[in-house]
Amino acid sequence: MINHKAIEIFKNSATYALGKILITQAEDFFETLGEMGIRFLQVLKLIFLDIKNRELQWKLIIEQCSRFAVDSLPITLAIVGMCSIIISMQVAPEMVKQGGEKYVGALMGVVTTREMGAIMSGFAIISMIGSAYASEIATMRVTEQVDALKVLKVDPIQYLFVPRVIAGFVMMPIVVIIASTFGIFCGGVAAFLSAHVSKLNYISSLWHGLYVKDITVALAKSACFGAAIALISCTCGYLAYGGAKGVGLSTTKSVVWSFVAICIIDYIFAMLFFF
């Protein structure tokens, strides 16, 4: 016989509550992942159709490119520059002590170009642009503006997703180029001030230690970062419900998912090209 009292006690326990939370989170994870896959295919299809029919919304694309690159550039440069200074100040003196002064530039070039420039730029853009994308579309969703677009026979995916994904894919490599260049420069200044590494040694080491492969992989990786940030942020905003609370939850989810996506994409590129 079923002991109803024991079942009731179990349902009121912390174990049951924790299990319920885990199941809910797992369901939400797979649902969001599936929605992202669907939106990705829809966006790809619409981009190819727009290119074929010459119907790209250039005004919206240029507007989103400006937001993605220009608006986020100051904070991106600040983050990448400070990280380069911190790393150079700690590494350069130790390398000089060990007789490795001529390798400081190569180290800073490789670290900044391969990883730090793209990763830190991605984190800055997620914080500023990705969260803004998610909150904007989530607000449109909960206030039924997305439904109004459908009534007006405007495809929400084509109007909201496509310009943002294209902007992320195109502009993220440009941001990374500028941020990495600035980071390498800041690293050189910090190396000179902290360990008296000469400009000639730093530039020569950078020239011989940085390869075209490092730059091309960083650009390809950053393009994937930009597209992923835009797609994830738009998808999380598009799935929002429940008023102001839903907007906040979708924005938080977009930031977390974007961070995770960047780490996964970075790992894939590292395995493919540098393992």
What spatial distance separates the first Cα and last Cα of the chain, rounded to whole Å? Answer: 59
* Domain boundaries of the chain, sorted by first residue: 28-273
Report the distance separating Cα 237 and Cα 254, nearest Å: 8
- Tens-digit pLDDT profile for residues 14-70: 777 777 777 877 777 777 788 888 888 989 998 888 888 777 888 889 999 988 888
Ramachandran bin of 153, using left for φ above 0, alpha for ψ from -120 to 50, beta for the remaining angles: left
pLDDT computed for residue 1 by the predictor: 47
pLDDT computed for residue 14 by the predictor: 74
pLDDT computed for residue 153 by the predictor: 87
Q: Are 240 and 143 in contact (CB under 8 A)?
A: no
Q: Which residues of the chain have pLDDT under 50?
A: 1
